[in-house]
Amino acid sequence: MAGKDLGIRLRRKGSAHFITIKGGRGQRRLEEEIQIPKPMFRALWPLTGAARISKRRYKIPCDGKTIEIDVYYGPHRGLMTAEIEFVSTRESRRFQPPDWLGREITRQRQYANEQLARRHGLPGHRTRS
């Protein structure tokens, strides 16, 4: 896997802290999440600089799957995205999304968390330099 397709993130979920390593793009990605102690999280956090996002995740059951809805805050306020994990490409093609889910954005890089963290505003809107 090429280095440009590798991302490392720090995450806080409630009182738990994680370092997450993601590889790949689009529909097929690998992800490993490792819980780390709070002091280690605090020591690494300054390395993220201004490349941060703030969001709350909600989980909604749907046809045997879980739809994860992310509601963004701060400079991304107003953005909501949804993600569903599938075990195969075939399974993802067979899934019939509910009408309220909205349009597919998987291949639109401007909605990737990595891109949002570097851009301090909503995709498609101008931001100050």
Asked whether residue 31 falls in the same domain as residue 84, the answer is no
The pLDDT-based confidence of 121 (bands split at 50, 70, 90) is confident
Asked whether residue 18 falls in the same domain as residue 58, the answer is no
* pLDDT single digits (tens) 30-60: 889 999 999 999 999 999 888 889 999 999 9
What are the helix (H) ranges across the chain? 38-44, 89-94, 113-118
Domain that holds residue 101: 51-129
CB atoms within 10 A of CB 112: 19
State the average pLDDT for the chain.
Answer: 85
Torsion angles phi and psi, residue 70, rounded to 5: -105, 125
Asked whether residue 60 falls in the same domain as residue 98, the answer is yes
pTM above 0.85, yes or no: no
